[in-house]
């Protein structure tokens, strides 16, 4: 399985398990895939938001928050 596909599957699982969003109904459009995987996530009938999954380990939380801004 290609890495981006794996990251999308993990993100869809997290959206279902932690946010109650049914993974098959959520639209996910890749915005960036380099050091991070970033999607515009659009649940049916709701406003979209950005989801980010860090590809690399070992970055401190402060640095990751800075990147998200």
Q: What b/e readout covers 29-67, taking b as 16+ CB neighbours within 10 angstroms?
A: eeeeeeebbbbebebeeeeeeebeeeeeeeeeeeeeeee
Residue 26 class from Cβ within 10 Å (0-12 exposed, 13-18 middle, 19+ buried)?
buried
* pLDDT for residue 43: 92
Structure tokens that stand for 32 in this block = 């960036």
Q: What residues does each domain of the chain span?
A: 3-68
Model confidence, pTM: 0.74
Q: Does pLDDT of 68 surpass 70?
A: no
Range 1-28 average pLDDT: 88
* pLDDT for residue 55: 65
Structure tokens that stand for 26 in this block = 């959520």
């Amino acid at each position: 399985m290609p890495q981006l596909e794996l990251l999308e599957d993990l993100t869809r699982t997290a959206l279902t398990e932690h946010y109650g969003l049914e993974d098959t109904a959520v639209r996910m459009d890749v915005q960036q895939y380099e050091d991070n995987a970033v999607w515009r996530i659009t649940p049916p009938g709701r406003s979209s938001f950005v989801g980010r999954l860090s590809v690399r380990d070992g970055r401190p939380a402060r640095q990751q928050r800075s990147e998200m801004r």
